[in-house]
Amino acid sequence: MPPKKVNKSDANKNEEEIKSDSDTEIEESDVEESDVEESDVEESDVEESDLEDKDKKKKEKTKKLTFDELLLEINNISDLEVNLENEILELEKLLNTKNKSKSLFRKNKNKLIALLPKAHIDDINKVIKNKKKRTSNNKNGILREQPVPPILQKFLNIPENALLMRPKVFSLLNNKFKELGLKKGQETILDKKTAKLFELNEGHVIKFTECQKFLADIYEKSNSKTNEVTL
């Protein structure tokens, strides 16, 4: 059989395809190799840096101090220790002082608390004594010695400058009413002359419960007239 003819154009196409395939394979291999190289470089850099740090630490740890340097460090630490102990001692002294003051305050407070009951009883007794004195020797109000109104001085024949307590005047007035026969049991009935003296109507009746008011009115009128004259 005669040999089959090969088309030149087809042959050229095949050659180009083969070349392109080979080129892509070469490029891929180059990329892979570059990636590998870069990763290796990075890993090696990291390892080197770690090693350097470790070496530095080892050097620092293994650095030996001289005898003088050791003594200096010991002296520095001793000074710090002494200073701290002094501070602790000062604080302890301050604490002891505060505790003593606290104990003294508490002791004084307890003494005062113990005195409270007796002081309370003494105060009550003083109040009771003062009340008794006031009731027995009261010189205020009706128990105070004072001038007698002129109208009573005339009616009871009391000296002008006499100073009498009101109960004493009341007793003298009551006896005078009895002497004049104006007392009718528990009542006092004024006659014409007595009523005129006290500026009242004849036959005016003073009940027993009104006797103190009758006397108080006389004093009040006398005081008001005295004030009018003074003004």
Domain ranges within the chain, ordered by starting residue? 76-114, 141-230
Residue of higher predicted confidence among 225 and 190: 190
Q: What is the pTM of this model?
A: 0.40
pLDDT of residue 2 exceeding 60: no
What is the sign, positive or negative, of the torsion defined by CA atoms of 132, 136, 142, 145? negative
Architecture per CATH, domain 141-230, reads as Orthogonal Bundle (1.10)
How far apart, in whole angstroms, are the C-alpha atoms of residue 149 and residue 222?
Answer: 6
**Residue 160: what pLDDT?**
86
pLDDT band at 6 (very low <50, low <70, confident <90, very high): very low
pLDDT tens-digit series, residues 27-70: 554 545 555 455 554 555 656 777 777 766 666 565 789 999 99
For the stretch 132-183, pLDDT in tens is 665 555 555 667 888 999 999 989 999 988 889 989 999 999 899 999 999 8
For residue 183, report the phi and psi dihedrals to the nearest 5 degrees: -85, 125
- In the predicted model, what is the mean pLDDT of residues 104-129? 87
| Cα distance between residue 153 and residue 63, in whole Å | 127
pLDDT given for residue 21 in this prediction: 52
- Rounded distance between C-alpha atoms, residue 95 and residue 97, angstroms: 5
Task: Report angle CA 126, 127, 130 to the nearest 5 degrees.
Answer: 85
d(CA 70, CA 45): 38
Q: Which residue has the higher pLDDT, 93 or 230?
A: 93
pLDDT of residue 61: 60
Mean residue pLDDT of the chain comes to 78
Distances (CA, A) of 63 to 56, 57, 77, 123: 10, 10, 20, 86
φ, ψ at 206 (rounded to 5°): -110, 110
Is the confidence at residue 119, as pLDDT, over 60?
Answer: yes
**175-197 burial, b if ≥16 CB within 10 A, otherwise e?**
ebbeeeebbeeeebbbeeebbee
